[in-house]
Amino acid sequence: MTIDTSPPWDDVRNYVDGEWRTPSGTDGRAVTDPATGEALTRVGFSSATDVDEAVRAGQAAFETWGSTPVEERIQPLFELKRLLEDHQDELAEVLVREHGKTFDEAKGELRRGIENVEVACGVPTTMQAGHLPNAAPDIDETAVRKPLGVFTAITPFNFPGMIPLWFLPYAVATGNAFVLKPSEQDPVVAERIFELVDRAGFPDGVVQLVNGGVETVNHLLDHDGVHGASFVGSTPVAREIYERAAANGKRVQAQGGAKNHIIVTETADLEFAARKTVSSACACAGERCLANDVVVVERAVYDEFVDLVLDEARDRTVGYGLDDGTDIGALITPEHETRVRDMIAAGVDEGAELLLDGRDVTVEGYPDGNFLGPTVFGDVDPSMSIAREEIFGPVLGLLSVADIDEAVDVLNRSDFGNAASLFTGSGADARTVRHEADVGNLGVNAGTAAPMAFFHFGGWKDSFFGDLHAQGEDMIHFYTDTMTYIERWPDA
Ligand code: NAD
């Protein structure tokens, strides 16, 4: 099989009960290439009936799938991994066309998604709970993990190939049925991944795709047949989803937005730190929940570090994601580009020093693209909006502090706690930050604190609502409940 990478594409479909279906809601939206403005396809939104059909098909499939031997359950996942790897380049091309990031970034995100399929294949081991002989006189006790039913995941636009795979493989490996609601801004790559799901050998109804927007999400959250929901997206929506799903008695994990910091101490390798800082802030055009865009630098090396950052930033090429040599692709929509431009203007108004202005960037051959060049502010104050609010564009701001304690204080004053990075040559400073920073992921001499799939991934504070995070062992816990057998055999 081949994946259709050449737009215009037919309207985006749902995948329910092993069949392709057309969403039956009245709303929908056009999907456009962020770099060219070209119309790629249209996605229709799913109605309450569409959602109900998907959930009921999941419930029916769960009756058998939940008790299918685990070794059989992971076979379609092995096949899915093979198919994803065989079609990784085609998927990456689709992803670039609808999202705007670079081809390498698209391939990279798919690789991180595939990693989750691999980890989920370990479920015969990771789903085991525990056994204790002679837990009490003549009594043996055994804890077991059981799947629960139908789960849903509602995912954002910025990693449309990877984030669905934070959930789907674990949900089905543990014996549940799964319904994905991808972002309506770039839903095509998820549809293409489902073309591979369709071939991987899952029984009908185990894995399903419903497209849509807010109403579709609400139908999923309000449906009695949905046992739990995973959400990844912006903080205000994460909070709403958490409250609505919990009020409906569902398990819920809701990952929200971010504002991440980099700390650079005077003992750091400054050139290395500058390279990683610019990559962290500008990769995927800054549309990453792990983008570190507030850079807190020890005063003794502040001026030197600013110069290094500016050299690095000026070196980045803005362009079309499928063209060789592009470092920074397009932003998702013109509306989002305007929002980022407004935030840059707010930074200027609030008194930060605009050291590099990416607003006048032009990309030859792509006059209609949503492009912004790397933008660097100096002398940022932690109270400024550019230091407090998520920008989601290729913009970073630098500020100086006296020492590591002040740096940690700046970081911990943030409402968010998704991630942070520290560049240092000092183990003592690393230990201070490791002990004091209120973040879910901390990179030491690593610009983007993205854990491998066998570790959980999730933030703190306003970056996360719930308790069990995405990926790894947390997903096994989220998708199962434990039962304890207390056994006595008086004749033994
Ligand atoms: P978003 O919140 O606008 O949308 C996310 C999903 O929620 C989409 O599927 C959308 O259809 C749905 N949705 C939007 N508004 C809704 C509403 N009012 N009610 C119900 N559902 C709604 O987010 P986005 O713009 O697609 O993604 C960017 C955001 O995601 C950023 O804030 C980014 O930091 C965050 N993000 C967080 C993580 C993380 O791990 N914490 C990872 C990736 C992205």
Q: Tokens 């816990």 identify what position?
A: 477
Catalytic residue among 121, 282, 284, 289: 289
Q: pTM here?
A: 0.98
pLDDT at residue 407 above 90? yes
Which atom of ligand 1 is nearest to 240's Cα? Answer: 19
Give 464-477 pLDDT, tens digit per residue: 999 999 998 999 99
Q: Rounded to whole angstroms, how far apart are CA atoms 191 and 207?
A: 12
CB of 158 closer than 6 angstroms to any ligand 1 atom? yes
CB of 160 closer than 6 angstroms to any ligand 1 atom? no
Mean pLDDT of 116-144: 97
Q: Sheet harboring 353-356: ordered strands across?
A: 353-356, 375-378, 395-401, 292-298, 260-264, 419-423, 441-444
pLDDT at position 121, please?
98
CB of 333 closer than 6 angstroms to any ligand 1 atom? no
Which atom of ligand 1 is nearest to 184's Cα? Answer: 11
Mean pLDDT of 191-209: 98
Which atom of ligand 1 is nearest to 238's Cα? Answer: 2
Mean pLDDT of 416-433: 98
Q: Rounded to whole angstroms, how far apart are CA atoms 262 and 281?
A: 10
Give 331-381 pLDDT, tens digit per residue: 999 999 999 999 999 999 999 999 999 999 999 999 999 999 999 999 999
CB of 210 closer than 6 angstroms to any ligand 1 atom? no
CB of 184 closer than 6 angstroms to any ligand 1 atom? yes
pLDDT at position 460, please?
98
Q: Sheet harboring 150-154: ordered strands across?
A: 19-21, 14-16, 207-209, 177-181, 150-154, 226-232, 251-255, 464-465
CB of 214 closer than 6 angstroms to any ligand 1 atom? yes
CB of 255 closer than 6 angstroms to any ligand 1 atom? yes
Q: What distance in angstroms lies between residue 256's CA and the mean position of ligand 1's atoms?
A: 7
pLDDT at residue 272 above 90? yes
pLDDT at position 492, please?
87
Query: Which CATH code for domain 14-256+463-484?
Result: 3.40.605.10
Which atom of ligand 1 is nearest to 213's Cα? Answer: 11
Q: What distance in angstroms lies between residue 79's CA and the mean position of ligand 1's atoms?
A: 30
Q: What distance in angstroms lies between residue 108's CA and the mean position of ligand 1's atoms?
A: 21
**Is 289 considered catalytic here?**
yes
Confidence of residue 207 (pLDDT cuts 50, 70, 90): very high
The DSSP secondary structure of 215-245, one letter per residue, reads HHHHHHHH-TTEEEEEEES-HHHHHHHHHHH
CB of 466 closer than 6 angstroms to any ligand 1 atom? no
Q: Residue 342: how many CB atoms within 10 A of its CB?
A: 12
CB of 217 closer than 6 angstroms to any ligand 1 atom? yes
Q: Residue 283: how many CB atoms within 10 A of its CB?
A: 24
Pocket-testing residue among 237, 252, 331, 343, ligand 1, by greatest number of atoms within 8 A of Cβ: 237
Domain ranges of the chain: 14-256+463-484, 260-444
Cis-peptide into 8, omega within 30 deg: yes
Which amino acid makes up residue 468?
A: L
Q: What distance in angstroms lies between residue 254's CA and the mean position of ligand 1's atoms?
A: 10
The per-type count for the chain, helices as H runs and strands as E runs, is 17, 22
pLDDT at position 395, please?
98
Residue whose C-alpha is closest to residue 218's, from 57, 469, 47, 26: 47
The DSSP secondary structure of 424-454, one letter per residue, reads -S-HHHHHHHHHH---SEEEES-SS----TT
Give 65-102 pLDDT, tens digit per residue: 999 999 999 999 999 999 999 999 999 999 999 999 99
pLDDT at residue 212 above 90? yes
Pocket-testing residue among 12, 98, 162, 183, ligand 1, by greatest number of atoms within 8 A of Cβ: 183
Question: Which residue has a Cα nearest atom 35 of ligand 1?
Answer: 233
Q: Please, what is the average pLDDT of the chain?
A: 98
Give 220-266 pLDDT, tens digit per residue: 999 999 999 999 999 999 999 999 999 999 999 999 999 999 999 99
Quick one: what percent of the chain has pLDDT higher than 70? 100
The DSSP secondary structure of 250-283, one letter per residue, reads -EEEEE----EEEEE-TTS-HHHHHHHHHHHHHG
Torsion angle of alpha carbons 454, 456, 457, 463, nearest 10°?
180
Q: Residue 312: how many CB atoms within 10 A of its CB?
A: 20
Q: Are 106 and 90 contacting, i.e. CB atoms less than 8 angstroms apart?
A: no
Residue whose C-alpha is closest to residue 127's, from 74, 179, 55: 74
Question: Which residue has a Cα nearest atom 1 of ligand 1?
Answer: 233
Query: Which CATH code for domain 260-444?
Result: 3.40.309.10
Which atom of ligand 1 is nearest to 156's Cα? Answer: 26
CB of 47 closer than 6 angstroms to any ligand 1 atom? no
Which atom of ligand 1 is nearest to 457's Cα? Answer: 40
